[in-house]
Structure 1
């Protein structure tokens, strides 16, 4: 189902929260071929803004301090009009393995993170979908989808059903882990004070890039 203000994509119903006479002229992304599991609601309605949630994705440096995740960003995020793309990063898993991470944002209420394990020929797609419900009130939902990118690398699992079961288990486990990580952020979102011109530390340029990119989604003079 598609409408100038409503779009169904990957099983989600997206609603444009901007002015009804000025719907977006851009698409979220092409349909994802992976099989979805979820969505899962994370926490309750929080006292925060969707931009705060999305900025949290751009601020990769907090992952080590708050979540104990040793994530390394290879390049700063790249603005592409209404999209913001983070080309690469790595999240350690176990035994020297790590997810290869890339993220795409569209607007202030949609983000898709792709986690790939090339060695095992599989990928997990993670959506973050913050929905405003009132002034500084947001409901956040996350969802995951699984994909076999190279069947030959799913070692010892020659049957499609076995590969599907494995990737489904990996996707659900990743979704649960993501929910736990986000719940650690919620108290901070609910109590932090928004600083329009924060003092950024060295290496925090991704926050500045994100905020400059996010301005396009507000009326002139609104932020």
Structure 2
């Protein structure tokens, strides 16, 4: 069904930046995992010293996938096929194999696999992707509160959309009252929520502002004011949210509520050109543990309303944007800087089969 959907004139499918491959707690010491993203094949492993290393998954010898059956030896990853070992810090082959069917030592010492820049922060393992092979010009921040607070759970969704659609949602202020005005308990679909008993009892009111950071080009900020009203008029809950967009695939949402503060970390990773893996992890002071779990549930319901739209929408290169939607156009201009000359583009080709 996805192949039949009109996709529109799409921007490049893989922006340059840091993208999450795994949650930190998904990989143990001396464990290796195979991850595919941005059209690449990664072997992600945690060395005996606890550090994360990321190499190309395929051994240059005979093409075995070192993340499937491979073994972590100290700081090295050993191929399961012929035992070649590669240093996680630079990708170089480190062993000398004395066997009749293997190359001589000179060839081995000149052999290497690609080493990918990695960074671990805020409960995630990130890889640096750049279509021009440039070194990282910025890094995700390490949030001390996330390190000290209690982790209360996660959600994971796969979205059939362009990677840009998801962060662009934050700058689309106009959609909040339509898609997210009805109570989360009303359901996943906004149309259903509009006719439910929950919508009669209460609804959400939103006020939003999005701006690009003037000093750091890879940052932008969304400020949200939220009120929960019952019987249309009475405010029973209010909170302020600041969402810091950090590059193309990371958002840290800071919640200030009448009960206390919380944080939600969102990562967006292109698994394929039009398939995005979106993960949310929530953190809070221990006394807000129950409330944070409720927040994660409510956020998931609201997010799934967006997913329904994303899974079936067409990308419009030049939207008929109203004055209120000028921030959406500003966000597109800001996000465009994460593409470069060699950023991969999406091409759809119909093929015929000759019998």
TM-score by length of 2: 0.52
How far did residue 32 of structure 1 move?
A: 3.6
How far did residue 66 of structure 1 move?
A: 0.8
Which residue of the other structure, out of 221, 240, 247, is the alignment partner of 1:85? 221
Larger helix percent: 1
Contact (CA 8 Å) 1:108, 1:217: kept in 2 or not?
A: yes
Show the counterpart of 1:125: 263
TM-score by length of 1: 0.81
Which residue of the other structure, out of 157, 168, 180, is the alignment partner of 1:67? 180
Which residue of the other structure, out of 152, 162, 186, is the alignment partner of 1:49? 162
Contact (CA 8 Å) 2:171, 2:210: kept in 1 or not?
A: no
RMSD: 2.2
How far did residue 72 of structure 1 move?
A: 0.4
Show the counterpart of 1:210: 331
Quote the Cα distance in structure 2 between the aligned partners of 1:170 and 1:32. 21
Show the counterpart of 2:245: 105
Contact (CA 8 Å) 2:205, 2:226: kept in 1 or not?
A: yes
How far did residue 98 of structure 1 move?
A: 0.9
Show the counterpart of 1:7: 119
Contact (CA 8 Å) 1:64, 1:70: kept in 2 or not?
A: yes
Deviations 1:16-37 (A, max 9, x none): 2323721321122232413222
Contact (CA 8 Å) 1:76, 1:205: kept in 2 or not?
A: no
Partner-residue secondary structure (3-state), 2:145: coil
Quote the Cα distance in structure 1 between the aligned partners of 2:263 and 2:273. 30
Matched, 1:191 2:326: no
Distance 1:181 1:27, change over 3 A: same
Quote the Cα distance in structure 2 between the aligned partners of 1:221 and 1:19. 6
Show the counterpart of 1:181: 302
Quote the Cα distance in structure 1 between the aligned partners of 2:236 and 2:308. 32
Contact (CA 8 Å) 1:5, 1:20: kept in 2 or not?
A: no
Contact (CA 8 Å) 1:131, 1:140: kept in 2 or not?
A: yes
Structure 1 outlier segments of 4+, above 6 Å: none
Give the length in aligned residue pairs. 200
How far did residue 71 of structure 1 move?
A: 1.0
Consecutive unaligned residues in structure 2, runs of 5 or more: 1-50, 54-115, 182-203, 230-234, 346-355
Show the counterpart of 1:153: none
Consecutive unaligned residues in structure 1, runs of 5 or more: 148-163
Show the counterpart of 1:16: 128
When Rg is computed on C-alpha atoms for both structures, the one with the higher figure is: 2
